[in-house]
Chains A and B, each alone.
Chain A
């Protein structure tokens, strides 16, 4: 009777010990998975490279821009389209279509900015006027200095 009783105590002791070990091992296993996956996950996300603080870019000489012409220049890491209207006015807009990221172009015949990917149209001020673009293009300032066409961020002026 007595020995039976101690057997039961032993078994239940064993069971709690086993349960305890199971939990420790299980938790250890998940911790191990986490320790493996965490660095891999972190590794996959590219580091944020600080945007070069470009405030102005030289787009070329004025003579490179006859009326109704355009050029895309690199502004930091983004392309900016610089164009000269028929009447001689200069404009600069972000060249990245606000729809799906394609690079836009200047249509001299209609004096509009056109994105060939999905037929999006903007006016020369960058306002989205037809097609899928949801937002206007960001405007840049054009400064003519010593026969050079300089593009600057609008907020700088």
Chain B
């Protein structure tokens, strides 16, 4: 008896093969969007692999964090490459996750029956941002130190729970070694664990429900629609895309390295150019523009509340968009998405210009 047969008797491999044979991908102008989730997945795997490698040398702690990262990039063979890949892949990961989210949004793929896929995806996006925020501090350099001070202070100005949240994040009243330990634990254990579970749910949902098509295409009769088999046609294209992405990451890592900067110093003034990672820039720039007081509330608080409200609305779009449920496009939500993108891009660019 061959290996396949004996495994098949125990694991029902035939069923999986049968399933993947039946799985098909719609072919239309938006087929390219279907690669974005896969690319995000690939970049996540890259993050796990490079992150685990960094763990072998990284030492959290005020006296060792910066030094160990410097050791990785200057002494360890290919240490620079692993760290640069981790940084670049992280940034591309966030970029592709956002792109994935917006294409899903405009294709109305969140509509019934895929609401849960959207919710799990949004939670994954929040966790990805948490990955970014916690990972940014780990090299313990000056820019990250102040960006974390600012970021956690913003969390601290949320009404009622703010003070609690600030101490919970910082592990004390100030950004200190306790914060570093905490962020390390969050970055390498807590978020990865939760993320992996959610990712599993997200992927199972996608497999169970199949690929979504935009509402217009749904009106096309089945016999006029075009498909390609998932295996091997689409899967091979997926792999090719991943290969290209890996090459892009490698090129960026080699030619555009992320600076380590100078070590964080509690007694040094904040340097000019303290800025968060680019994906927080639109929020940061907004807070920078809001005056200290708007009517009777603090400007900062107003900004945070607006973002929280916006995030909630965006999260619950599958429930709020009544037209998508019946397979129609809602002009309102289309414009909501377009204006949001314009706002985010404008604020991000503005944030970097000043």
- Partner-A contacts on B (CB < 8 A): 146, 149-150, 152-154, 164, 167-168, 170-174, 178, 266-274, 287-288, 290-293, 298-300
Contact = CB atoms under 8 A, between A and B. Distances in A.
B288 A101 contact: no
Contact of A103 (B146, B154, B170): B146
Interface stretch (A27-35, A60-68, A112-120): A112-120
Contacts of B269: 72, 81, 95, 103-105, 116
A73 B267 contact: yes
A81 B269 CA distance: 9
A102 B291 contact: no
Interface of A: 44-46, 49, 72-74, 77-79, 81, 95, 97, 99-105, 115-119, 128, 132-134
Nearest to B354: A119
A138 to B, nearest CB: 15
B270 A134 contact: no
B266 A116 contact: no
A119 B273 CA distance: 10
B288 A102 contact: no
Contacts of B271: 116
Q: Which of A81, A117, A132 has the most CB of B within 10 A?
A: A117
Given A45-B167, A116-B274, A132-B300, 10 more contacts: A44-B168, A73-B267, A77-B173, A78-B174, A101-B149, A101-B150, A102-B149, A102-B274, A103-B146, A116-B271
Given A100-B154, A103-B146, A132 B266 contact: no
6 contacts: A45-B167, A46-B168, A101-B152, A102-B150, A103-B269, A104-B269
Contacts of A117: 146, 150, 270, 274
- Name the prevailing secondary structure of the A interface residues: loop
Contacts of A72: 267-269
A99 B274 CA distance: 14
A133 B270 CA distance: 15
A78 B171 CA distance: 16
Contacts of B172: 46, 49
B149 A134 contact: no
Nearest to B157: A100
Contact of A132 (B174, B267, B292): B292
Contacts of A102: 146, 149-150, 270, 274
B288 A46 contact: no
A118 B202 CA distance: 39
